[in-house]
Amino acid sequence: MFKFNPNVKEHKSLLGAIDVEENCYISVTTDNSWVNLMISKDGNGYDRYSMTKGSEGCFFVRLERLEQGLYFYHFETDEGRYYSSNDLWAKKPPEGYGDYQLTVTLKDYQTPDLLKGAIIYQIFPDRFCRAGNGRIEKGKILCRDWGATPTYRNQDGKVLNNEFFGGDFKGITSKLYYLKSLGVNVVYLNPIVKAYSSHRYDTGDYLKVDPLLGTEEDLKTLLSAANKIGISFIFDGVYNHTGEDSKYFNRCGNYPPYGAYNDKNSPYYDWYDFYNYPDGYASWWNFKSLPSIKKDSLSYQNFILEEVLPHYFKMGFKGVRLDVVDELTDDFVTKIRKVAKKYGAAVIGEVWEDATNKVAYGVRRKYFLGNELDSVMNYQLRDGICDFLLHRSTYYLVHVLETQKNNYPKCALDNLMNLLSTHDTVRIINNLGRSTIVTDKDRLREVYLNDEELKKGKCFAKMAYALLFTVYGSPCIYYGDEAGMTGDLDPYNRRCYPWGKEDEDFIEFIKTLAYVRNSEGLFAEGELNILYYDKNLLVFDRTDGFERIIVAASVKSVSAKLKFSQPVIDLLNKDFTPKTECEIKPYSVVILKQIKDKNL
């Protein structure tokens, strides 16, 4: 027998990450005669700690004032070694074995309150709402049919992303009260700066907004109006590359001279990595339209830190999302954080893996040790939820929940940007409803979900959003998901919002989730505990020590029943009659608030 779960206080006195000033007790329960803790700071050899034997088969050791960084550990006994994959905290752990992780942060690591308890809404600016006052530029195509399918290739077979539908700042301003009705209090905008493409990740001028979106005054009006009703905005910071058609590179000659491509004496020449001037240069994933920024270009970093970030924070933005943050140096990220903190702004990173232990380009990244990020886009949770719904298995989802609870600092865990759809993924209804996977984008233009797939996708998408709204972190709605929008790989996941043709039932479901979340303060910082799970039933609770909410999700084909020692009311289904037994219908989620007997 050997028992250890780092997410139980009896085994680890301080849950989650700890700071450099804290002492942490590690305890195991076993019938072995001796136990050693083997612990290694990342990249170093193991240190052996002989664990002290207590009563009833308990062995413990005290870890004192560890240095900032990542630590990995396992146990040695007279019967062998115990790793995380031996543990029952995930009944079906990943293949192979691995150490437990301990994250040690700076003492004063804090994250802003902006994202705690928030509901985030992501807007792809060109496709959300059009007021129609912007100006289209040369080389771009304005599509006036708001409901048309975006073009993947033009008639010459080229992927140009130069088709615009005209969504703009005034359009977003006109829908602020709609966003408020969804419970939204933070909006994440995809890039808004002047650029050639409709996605605008090919920056043309960092300090100018795209004229098709409107003027800088239009943007200020949007931010001011949003602030008055309690909605904050986060902008997209794209600091790994620019566009070839930019003020800084100017390969296309559409800007005044002195671009790096045109002139070695350009003030921007140092920004880029030329290996055979002018046409041989490093670019993002070999897309020549996206010339990469040199990692060690201090003149570029200073431009971002001293001009770009202050420009947008002073304008009223409350945070920045860092595109492909793993391609920026840790030093640059730390500098960005320092600037953001001067303005009380949040810093979110695009990270698709566990951000506490990610390795990129052979280097362990430092994102949550106290000097770096406040939050990341939680793609791991998305994968876990989808795996649960698609494969009728809770095991990977439980593994994600338990691992993130253990690895992340609590202040970052509560800030995680939890998502199901983004501009980079298939929309959640398609992901969960499609019976056959199609990856050919030319075919996808004419491939839609059939009625059965659409029904299944919406059912599972509702379950997915119910989970997203009730776990730790902040749920993020990709524009139009709440309206029942479908879409496969881009550009089809970037269709225009279907104003006047929304799925009102889905919208009402999201509004109910938002009401439940915003009405219960424990969703902001309350603990999450797994209570029960089998192959296709998951039960967890959120608690702050006083209040308790129980969430159960079932992908069983028959109803299941839960019994409670104290009465509960059903928040999601608005059944406020206290009861000690609850039925979970097939393929559904219940959100139950526990009522103390004295309150009856």
Spot the catalytic one: 244, 327, 350, 414: 350
Q: How many CB atoms lie within 10 A of CB 219?
A: 25
Task: Using alpha carbons only, give the angle 527, 521, 584 rounded to the nearest 5 degrees.
Answer: 70
What would the DSSP string read from start to end of 81-105? Answer: EE-GGGSTTSSSPPSS---EEEEEE
CA pair distance 549, 517, nearest whole angstrom: 11
Nearest to 490 by CA among 163, 131, 210, 209: 163
CA pair distance 560, 467, nearest whole angstrom: 18
Give Cα separations from 20 to 89, 99, 225, 237 (angstroms): 26, 21, 42, 31
SS3 129: coil
Spot the catalytic one: 163, 323, 490, 541: 323
Give me 399's structure tokens.
């593994």
Instruction: Decide if 520 is catalytic.
Output: no
CB 581 within 8 A of CB 564: yes
Task: Using alpha carbons only, give the angle 97, 98, 101 rounded to the nearest 5 degrees.
Answer: 155
Q: Which residues fall within 8 angstroms of residue 223, CB to CB, at 6 or more apart?
A: 233, 315, 316, 317
Judged on CB neighbours under 10 Å (0-12, 13-18, 19+), 55 is exposed
Task: Examine residue 498 and say whether the peptide bond preceding it is cis (omega within 30 degrees of 0).
Answer: no
Give Cα separations from 508 to 304, 451, 462, 484, 552 (angstroms): 41, 21, 11, 11, 21
SS3 15: coil
Where do the H-state alpha helices sit in 469-503? none
CB 129 within 8 A of CB 479: no
CB 218 within 8 A of CB 182: no
Q: What is the amino acid identity at position 95?
A: E
Nearest to 212 by CA among 156, 257, 167: 167
Q: What is the amino acid identity at position 170?
A: K
Radius of gyration of the chain (CA): 25
CA torsion 365-108-121-172 (nearest 10°) is -110
203 membership: H or E segment, kind and range: strand 203-209
Q: How many CB atoms lie within 10 A of CB 264?
A: 10
Instruction: Decide if 350 is catalytic.
Output: yes
CB 129 within 8 A of CB 167: yes
Please give the positions annotated as active site. Answer: 323, 350
